[in-house]
């Protein structure tokens, strides 16, 4: 998920400062909010969010999720 320049989507570090790497969905108080989430789980959650909440075509949402999420720092192997 793109991080907002206005900090609305930024996660927080343990000291309360904003994370420059992770969003509020994934990261709060210096910890992942869903530590057992797999990359495939995140892809599916993202596809569902984009299709249900943002009215993005399912095929387009899947291409976007599969093309973006595996490259994010949390999911790089």
Sequence-separated (6 or more) residues with CB below 8 Å from residue 21: 11, 27, 73
Q: Which pLDDT does position 73 carry in this prediction?
A: 92
Q: How far apart are CA 20 and CA 5, in angstroms?
A: 10
| Tokens coding 33 | 């909010």
pTM exceeding the 0.75 threshold for the entire prediction: yes
Cα angle: 26, vertex 29, 31; to 5 degrees: 50
* pLDDT tens, residue by residue, 21-74: 998 888 999 999 999 999 999 999 999 999 999 999 999 999 999 999 999 999
């Amino acid at each position: 998920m793109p991080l907002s320049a206005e900090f609305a989507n930024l996660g927080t570090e343990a000291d309360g400062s904003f994370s420059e790497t992770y969003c509020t969905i994934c990261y709060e108080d210096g910890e992942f909010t869903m530590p057992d989430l797999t990359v495939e789980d995140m892809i599916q959650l993202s596809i569902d969010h984009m299709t249900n909440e943002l009215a993005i075509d399912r095929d387009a949402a899947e291409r976007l999720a599969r093309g973006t999420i595996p490259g994010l720092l949390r999911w790089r192997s």
